[in-house]
Amino acid sequence: MAALTERRLVSFLAQRFGADAPGVELGIGDDAAVLAPAAEPWICSVDASVAGVHFDTRWVGHEDIGYRAFQAAVSDLAAMGATPSAALSALVLPRGSPPRAIDELTAGIAAASRDTRCPVVGGNISRGGELSLTTTVLGHAARPLRRSGACPGEELWLVGAVGLAAAGLALLRLSTSRAVPACAGDRATPPLPTPSLSTPSLSTPWADAGVERCIAAWRRPRALLDEGRELVGRASAAIDVSDGLAADAQQLAAASRVRVVVDRERLRAALDAALFAAARRLRRSALGFALSGGEDYALLASGPRRLRPARAVPIGYVSRGTGAFLAVAGRLVPLRGGFDHLRT
Amino acid sequence: MAALTERRLVSFLAQRFGADAPGVELGIGDDAAVLAPAAEPWICSVDASVAGVHFDTRWVGHEDIGYRAFQAAVSDLAAMGATPSAALSALVLPRGSPPRAIDELTAGIAAASRDTRCPVVGGNISRGGELSLTTTVLGHAARPLRRSGACPGEELWLVGAVGLAAAGLALLRLSTSRAVPACAGDRATPPLPTPSLSTPSLSTPWADAGVERCIAAWRRPRALLDEGRELVGRASAAIDVSDGLAADAQQLAAASRVRVVVDRERLRAALDAALFAAARRLRRSALGFALSGGEDYALLASGPRRLRPARAVPIGYVSRGTGAFLAVAGRLVPLRGGFDHLRT
């Protein structure tokens, strides 16, 4: 990219995102975008990813920053059982951002836009003190899934993996401190290298399959759009796990005015082997990552047993009452914690 | 407001914005909002307002920050001749923001939401290093106005005032430096006081009507929604003047592949008396404010003379060629400048 002016950048982005998609009547470059009317209700949501809060450029490259910010936003459509129509991408670029950073950032956004079939039809660019990406997503759904429909007697379903991204983040954080998370019987593990700013390599000597999988889960999450649509007509309520299973189970319980109970053994049985491997290396609890870590963008839903989709794993149940609990050997322990965006 | 947690804030905002509006099937509090399908095409746009770039909390209160950020976003709908349906408001709050700041900020957003009949149906809250507001607006229009339809032979129309907000901003900036913009014959003007952080008073001894009008234009702009809709079926192209008349005339010319000529005398005749009063006080040129100052959110449009609406003032013409020019005594001077969001 040549020297950066706003007009040059808009023209570059119009090319990069070139939204020649069905339903897009007017894309980037006018005062607003125009989308063809849809017969179904519109679903809209916005999500922000802010440097120093949601990521740290010391351990994630700009392409991943763009990719994951976009997928995080689209995940809200997945949780509603919606199909993406279009996105608007508002970027705040720190003064002095090199053209390469913007190139990588928008390449990541464009890749996620392709992967989710959600064309970028507009946006905003501003200078600022810190990098942030605010992504608006628009979609449509005939019968949107809400958080508020869970009923006593239903099963609690988990769709997709939880905890991997949180473990991956812990590994990436460690890699910048250059500390070695030694684990029993593995004293020869070499130090984790500082990842490069552009595209941190996963093929490092220290990367075993579990570690690699967890880091990839954090760097390249995937909104579960197909899985979300599969829940429509089956689930009575759904939410995406963005702030941690414990926090989002509380949200589901509060919105539905029910009690949500996660069975510890069922949850443990549902966890990915990669999570146990990474947790061992980090000397932390796999269950802890599963309960408190968000950003895998799994879906948590409730519904009657007979309607459970093949990809949904029953991890608990819904009952009368309030709050979210972990069932441990017949005892109910209140689920607390999770990510509060105002307490970072 | 009590101590700030995310859940408490979301519940406070759900009450404040309570989007019980027609067409809103599901508002704040779920993974996404749900809007009833519309028969007309959807118009969508996003606009960001960032501390240190678009405003400075030293000379604008939080209520005004919220109000003007929202109106600025809605102005893009006005430029398309659209009617607002809903908005999403994404806030980045600096660590340590007092509850009062958030209360005032959202009060300003809520006031603008009411004034534009554009209900806030969702949003996002995050901590960050600096205050920013990113507002997504959704609307609908049977025949959206584009920037790209201007034809040679048409008139250039200005709808609404230009330059007032820029002059108001210059006055507010001066007020914090406590310098006195003395003007000829007015040596007794007292120093401009520093406005309070909450709601800077306009009823100060130094405020004459022109100054007051300009400051209000910057602090409380109004998206010209009725005027925009009035252009539909009459104008061939339209843009809102957010980055300055000179810059936005260039945008209109480039998008329509025509030459746009602003007649200096016609423009001067169209300017508000308040602008001349403020410019005199600031010892600056009223025409300079009109050409380079944005944020009044006037509309610039083109169309055939016979279709000109009553509220549109002809300030020039469209011809074959490229670029935007100022006609000065029969000579064409290239229009340059305007606000580039990447060069601040």
pLDDT tens-digit profile of A95-107? 888 889 999 999 9
* Inter-chain CB proximity A31 and B147 less than 8 Å: yes
The predicted structure's pLDDT at residue A180: 38
Q: Which long-range contacts (CB under 8 A, 24 or more apart) does A1-8 make?
A: A1/A99, A1/A100, A1/A102, A1/A103, A2/A99, A3/A99, A4/A99, A4/A102, A4/B342, A5/B340, A5/B342, A5/B343, A6/A125, A6/B340, A6/B341, A6/B342, A6/B343, A7/B340
Distance CA B34, CA B26 (A): 5
The highest-confidence range among A206-210, A339-343, B110-114, by mean pLDDT, is B110-114
Sign of CA dihedral A193, A195, A196, A199: positive
Q: What one-character DSSP code corresponds to residue A283?
A: T
Q: Copy the structure tokens of residue A188.
A: 């020869």
Distance CA B218, CA B55 (A): 10
Distance CA B343, CA A126 (A): 9
Band of pLDDT at residue A150, cut at 50, 70 and 90: very high
Average per-residue pLDDT in chain A?
Answer: 87
Taking CA atoms, what residue in A is nearest to B93? A342
Q: Copy the structure tokens of residue A215.
A: 């880091």
| Phi-psi sector, A153: left (phi>0), alpha (psi -120 to 50), beta | left
Instruction: Annotate A226-250 with b (16+ C-beta within 10 A) or e (fewer).
Output: ebbbbbbebbbbbbbbbbbbbbbbb
From A6, A33, A48, residue closest to B45, measured CB to CB: A33
Q: Is A279 on the interface with B (CB under 8 A)?
A: no
Q: Is A106 on the interface with B (CB under 8 A)?
A: no
From B38, B52, B92, residue closest to A48, measured CB to CB: B92
Quote the Cα angle for B290-B295-B301, to 5°: 65
Q: Using a CB-CB distance cutoff of 8 angstroms, which residues of chain B are in contact with residue A79?
A: 31-32
Q: Is B52 on the interface with A (CB under 8 A)?
A: yes
Contact B289, B210 (CB under 8 A): no
DSSP for B264-311, please give it.
Answer: HHHHHHHS-HHHHHHHHHHTS-HHHHHHH---S-EEEEEE-GGG--TT
Taking CA atoms, what residue in A is nearest to B76? A31
Q: Would you call A158 helix, strand, or coil by DSSP?
A: strand
Q: Is B38 on the interface with A (CB under 8 A)?
A: yes
Band of pLDDT at residue A337, cut at 50, 70 and 90: low
Band of pLDDT at residue A205, cut at 50, 70 and 90: very low
Distance CA A268, CA A263 (A): 9
Confidence check: pLDDT of A201 > 80: no
Q: Using a CB-CB distance cutoff of 8 angstroms, which residues of chain A are in contact with residue B50?
A: 92, 126-128
Interface test with B, best of A25, A26, A42 (most B CBs within 10 A): A42
Q: Copy the structure tokens of residue B216.
A: 């209000």
Distance CA B141, CA B135 (A): 19
* Inter-chain CB proximity B53 and A5 less than 8 Å: no
Residue for token pair 């914090």: B176
Quote the Cα angle for B229-B234-B239, to 5°: 60
Q: Using a CB-CB distance cutoff of 8 angstroms, which residues of chain B are in contact with residue A121?
A: 44
The predicted structure's pLDDT at residue B316: 98
Q: How many CB pairs under 8 A join A and B?
A: 234
Q: Using a CB-CB distance cutoff of 8 angstroms, which residues of chain B are in contact with residue A30?
A: 80, 146-148, 255
The predicted structure's pLDDT at residue B124: 92
Q: Using a CB-CB distance cutoff of 8 angstroms, which residues of chain A are in contact with residue B340?
A: 5-7
Q: Using a CB-CB distance cutoff of 8 angstroms, which residues of chain B are in contact with residue A128?
A: 50, 52-53, 130, 132
From A45, A124, A255, residue closest to B32, measured CB to CB: A45
**Enclosing H/E stretch for B142:** none
Give the residue among A128, A168, A118 at the shortest CA–CA distance from A284: A168
Between residues 284 and 313 of chain A, which touch chain B (CB distance below 8 Å)?
none
Sign of CA dihedral A256, A257, A259, A262: positive
Shortest distance between the Cα of A166 and any Cα of chain B, in A, equals: 19
Query: Which whole-number Å values give the CA distances from A102 to A9, A91, A105, A218, A233, in the listed order?
Result: 9, 10, 5, 21, 41
Starting at the edge strand that comes first in sequence, how are the strands of the sheet with A312-319 ordered? A237-241, A298-303, A155-159, A312-319, A259-263, A324-328, A331-334
From B5, B52, B127, residue closest to A53, measured CB to CB: B127
Distance CA A13, CA A228 (A): 30
Q: Please, which residues have CB within 8 angstroms of residue B79's CB and are 6 or more apart in sequence?
A: A31, A32, B145, B228, B238, B239, B240, B299
Q: Is B172 on the interface with A (CB under 8 A)?
A: no
Higher pLDDT, B202 or A276: A276
Quote the Cα angle for A326-A341-A58, to 5°: 105
Q: Would you call A260 helix, strand, or coil by DSSP?
A: strand
From B76, B92, B127, residue closest to A32, measured CB to CB: B76
Strand ranges (E), chain B:
24-26, 33-35, 42-50, 83-94, 120-128, 132-140, 155-159, 237-241, 259-263, 298-303, 312-319, 324-328, 331-334
Shortest distance between the Cα of A117 and any Cα of chain B, in A, equals: 18
The ipTM estimated for the assembled molecules is 0.87
User: Per DSSP, what are the bridge partners of residue A316?
Assistant: A156, A262
From B127, B130, B137, residue closest to A341, measured CB to CB: B127
* Inter-chain CB proximity A90 and B48 less than 8 Å: yes
Taking CA atoms, what residue in B is nearest to A250? B7
Q: For chain A, what percentages of helix, strand and coil (3-state, to nearest 5) are there?
A: 35, 25, 40
Taking CA atoms, what residue in A is nearest to B23? A41
Distance CA B107, CA B112 (A): 9
Q: Is A98 on the interface with B (CB under 8 A)?
A: no
Give pLDDT < 70 ranges for chain B: 1-6, 19, 177-207, 337-344
* Inter-chain CB proximity A43 and B54 less than 8 Å: no
From A25, A32, A48, residue closest to B124, measured CB to CB: A48
Q: For chain B, what percentages of helix, strand and coil (3-state, to nearest 5) are there?
A: 35, 25, 40
**Enclosing H/E stretch for A314:** strand A312-319
**Enclosing H/E stretch for B14:** helix B6-17
Shortest distance between the Cα of A203 and any Cα of chain B, in A, equals: 33
Q: Using a CB-CB distance cutoff of 8 angstroms, which residues of chain B are in contact with residue A44?
A: 32-33, 35, 86, 88, 121-122, 136, 138
Distance CA B197, CA B181 (A): 22
Residue for token pair 């996620």: A112
B89 φ/ψ angles, rounded to the nearest 5 degrees: -120, 110
Q: Is A185 on the interface with B (CB under 8 A)?
A: no
pTM for this structure?
0.89
Distance CA A289, CA A188 (A): 25
The predicted structure's pLDDT at residue B191: 37
Name the packing angle between helices B99-115 and B6-17 (round to 10°).
30
Chain segment B165-203, per-residue pLDDT in tens: 999 999 998 877 654 333 333 333 333 333 433 344 444
Q: What one-character DSSP code corresponds to residue A3?
A: S
* Inter-chain CB proximity B90 and A46 less than 8 Å: yes
Contact B219, B201 (CB under 8 A): no
Shortest distance between the Cα of A128 and any Cα of chain B, in A, equals: 7
Q: Would you call A316 helix, strand, or coil by DSSP?
A: strand
Contact B161, B296 (CB under 8 A): yes
End-to-end CA distance of chain B: 35
Q: Is B124 on the interface with A (CB under 8 A)?
A: yes
From B34, B43, B53, residue closest to A32, measured CB to CB: B43
Give the residue among A38, A103, A33 at the shortest CA–CA distance from B46: A33
Band of pLDDT at residue A235, cut at 50, 70 and 90: very high
Chain segment B99-158, per-residue pLDDT in tens: 899 999 999 999 999 999 999 999 999 999 999 999 999 999 999 999 999 999 999 999
* Inter-chain CB proximity A134 and B79 less than 8 Å: no
Between residues 239 and 268 of chain B, which touch chain A (CB distance below 8 Å)?
239-240, 255
Q: Among A74-78, A200-204, A254-258, B77-81, name the one with the lowest average pLDDT.
A: A200-204
